[in-house]
Structure 1
Amino acid sequence: MNTSISRRGFLRQSFAFSALAGLGSLPSLAKNFANGNASFNWLMIGDWGYERPAGQEAVAEGMRSYVKQHAIKADALLMLGDNWYGDLTGGVDSPRWKTHFEDLYPGSIFDCPAYAVLGNHDYQRMPMSKVDAELAYAKRGGTRWKMPARWYSFEFPSKDPLVTVIALDSNVPHAKAPQANSVNFTLTPEEQAEQLRWLKAELEKPRKTPYLIVIAHHPIYSNGPHGDHKVLIADWDPLLREHKAHLYLAGHDHDMQHLEFEGHPTSFVLSGGGGADLYTLKIEEAQRGPYAAKVYGFSHLQVAEDKLTLLHMDQTGRVIHGFTKTPDGKVDILQGIVA
């Protein structure tokens, strides 16, 4: 296992990204990340459905340009929560579904499912429940929006799957949680316990895929202002360790991060630069990394049988950080990337 809390702790690898030196952009050979092996591509964003959409529009434009410029077929989008800030009047019939989702991430470019999890801003009644609206929108015919339940799992692709994904609702009760009868709310303690039982049962199932990925809105560990999440550390982190999850993908802090911890099998990735106002880091990457930056952007995950590759991009589609990880847990930071 090659894990560390800083760049120096990683083996450096010479990769196709030598073409990136001085450019910070993806070469045209993007689809050859995995040395020609069968693979798929996901793009992910968190904290994106902002009331003042300038940041979201810029990131969405960068995503569209990125896949077109490099002829990348997006096989799925991951929407990492805080899908809707503010009012969603009309619920499933709100015009924001068109202006802030369908138009910015159009099916003509992203002809793929958009797997979504719930964030704390989704857990607001303004005045109706946005959670209920998001679950209902997923049931509409022809929609790309995938949220069959507040927590769910799937394998991808459907034929010869490479990855098992567990999507969780991280809006758990905690010491500073809002009251259940306020605009903001969380899962009840009973729902929290129900989800934890479900998670343990899912992880106990025999897994045939080479990779296990867990996605949720709140990070377990974060260098951002929200910091580490004590409840999730207690409830979920031991399970990630026990079952050797490869990635934990989250948002919530409005920045981009990649954290590794010595002896921990899981890489913690935060992609929270989807459009909401950015946050200043509380812990710099020099103290805990290998990467943390206050920047708008999105992430690109390619999964192949021999390794997965994750790239953080800024809002223009410029590569700002990347790493690979093998099924047995070896992590390598990609070289030739200009931050």
Structure 2
Amino acid sequence: MAKARLNKKSMVLCLAICFGLCFVSVFAELQRFEHPTKGGGILSFLVLGDWGRQGDFNQSEVAYQMGIVGGKLDVDFVVSTGDNFYDDGLKGEHDPAFVDSYVNIYTAKSLQKQWYSVLGNHDYRGDAEAQLSPFLRTIDGRWLCQRSFIVNAEIADLFFVDTTPFVRDYFDEPENHVYDWRGVTPVETYTTNILNDLESALRESAAKWKIVVGHHAIRSVGHHGDTKELVDRLLPILQANNADLYMNGHDHCLEHISDDSSPIQFLTSGAGSKAWRGDLKEMNKQGLKFFYDGQGFMSVKLSQTDMESVFYDVFGSVLHRWTTSKQLHSAI
């Protein structure tokens, strides 16, 4: 058994080295990856969610604008907030949708950087483990999707959380959908382990910025609204451990909401293809800074002292810009 564990860890280490990632450690559900930045004390990346539709619903147009913005910012990597392939994830690691909805869409030179991705609920409707497979990286070395993991990017630590198993409705009311729960049962043990490991990692992080990424929103005024399970179980951990941002997809919109009990900002970037026009909940708008119901994406730029996040529409126009200083915690 010990030999088997060693072989598995060695295999992951080799794969990480082959694809330019420095593997640091494995504990429970969280893996750590080092991502060296381009230098100068600046980190920048793009954030995209809910996108994989073979270029349809303006996916290709959003990708084109991402390429332009990514070039201007010289981004270090791209973050995907999940629902990577519609409607029902990938059928397997050989599914042509991986090429049709990802490889052949995000072709700009500036986007040929590492992509860090989490699974969304639609991804769980297919072969969820296919998206985690190292085989996909032999097709396109940019791709890295794990259930939950950490990216250490010098001035920032990014904590990626597998949020779908937290949502009880997917177990209690599947709406004729079949979910791939391999690897996440018993679900209470699985989600508790994630939270425990996340709490430890956040507490021990010495990074200037702590950013948490999941598919489901903690706070949203879009179609799905707040995710109660995350409000109850995840949010207190973020508040207690000085998280700066929580970034998500799930709602097909762009939005920015401020927490009323901590400096945390909730940023939704789930408009990578199909958007839901006019789908705005009137309830619980407390802290709402920005909402847009069309397609688009987001950029984040960090220095030792400052953060800037920008939302763009399908034409590349700036819709909303937010900046903060680590010392002042003030927004503009």
Shift of residue 90, structure 1, vs aligned partner: 5.3
Shift of residue 64, structure 1, vs aligned partner: 1.9
In the alignment, is the contact (CA less than 8 A) between 1:265 and 1:329 conserved in 2?
no
What SS is found at the alignment partner of 2:164? coil
TM-superposition CA deviations, 1:98-144 (whole Å, max 9, x none): 2211121126331211000111001113xxx1x11110047634611
TM-superposition CA deviations, 1:271-313 (whole Å, max 9, x none): 1111023251113897641111212100011111111100000
What SS is found at the alignment partner of 1:60? helix
1:66 aligns with 2:69: yes
Give the structure 2 partner of residue 326 of structure 1.
Answer: 325
Matches within 5 A, 1:94-109: 94-106=95-107, 108-109=109-110
In the alignment, is the contact (CA less than 8 A) between 2:64 and 2:108 conserved in 1?
no
In the alignment, is the contact (CA less than 8 A) between 1:59 and 1:297 conserved in 2?
yes
Give the structure 2 partner of residue 222 of structure 1.
Answer: 220
**Separation (CA, whole Å) in 2 of partners of 1:150 and 1:118:** 7
Runs of 4+ in structure 1 deviating by more than 6 angstroms, as ranges, are none
TM-superposition CA deviations, 1:213-256 (whole Å, max 9, x none): 00000010101121111111111111111111000000100111
- TM-score in terms of structure 2 length: 0.79
Give the structure 1 partner of residue 132 of structure 2.
Answer: 135
Give the structure 1 partner of residue 111 of structure 2.
Answer: 110
Question: What is the number of equivalent residue pairs in this alignment?
Answer: 286
**Separation (CA, whole Å) in 1 of partners of 2:298 and 2:162:** 21
In the alignment, is the contact (CA less than 8 A) between 2:55 and 2:101 conserved in 1?
no
Shift of residue 327, structure 1, vs aligned partner: 2.2
**Separation (CA, whole Å) in 1 of partners of 2:122 and 2:198:** 23
Amino acid at match of 1:58: E
Distance verdict in 2 for CA 1:138–1:183, change over 3 Å: same
**Structure with greater contact order relative to length (CA < 8 Å, sep ≥ 6):** 1
Gaps of 5+ in 1: 1-35, 334-339
What SS is found at the alignment partner of 2:109? coil
Distance verdict in 2 for CA 1:67–1:152, change over 3 Å: closer
Distance verdict in 2 for CA 1:171–1:138, change over 3 Å: farther
RMSD of aligned residue pairs (Cα, Å): 2.5
- TM-score in terms of structure 1 length: 0.77
Give the structure 1 partner of residue 190 of structure 2.
Answer: 191
TM-superposition CA deviations, 1:128-163 (whole Å, max 9, x none): x1x11110047634611122x31011211xxxx110
In the alignment, is the contact (CA less than 8 A) between 1:49 and 1:276 conserved in 2?
no
**Separation (CA, whole Å) in 1 of partners of 2:89 and 2:284:** 36
Give the structure 1 partner of residue 259 of structure 2.
Answer: 261
TM-superposition CA deviations, 1:4-51 (whole Å, max 9, x none): xxxxxxxxxxxxxxxxxxxxxxxxxxxxxxxx9631220111111136
**Separation (CA, whole Å) in 2 of partners of 1:243 and 1:66:** 32
Q: Which moved more, 1:292-301 or 1:176-185?
A: 176-185
Distance verdict in 2 for CA 1:178–1:121, change over 3 Å: same
1:169 to 158, 162, 165: 162
Which has more helix, going by share of residues?
A: 2
Distance verdict in 2 for CA 1:139–1:202, change over 3 Å: farther
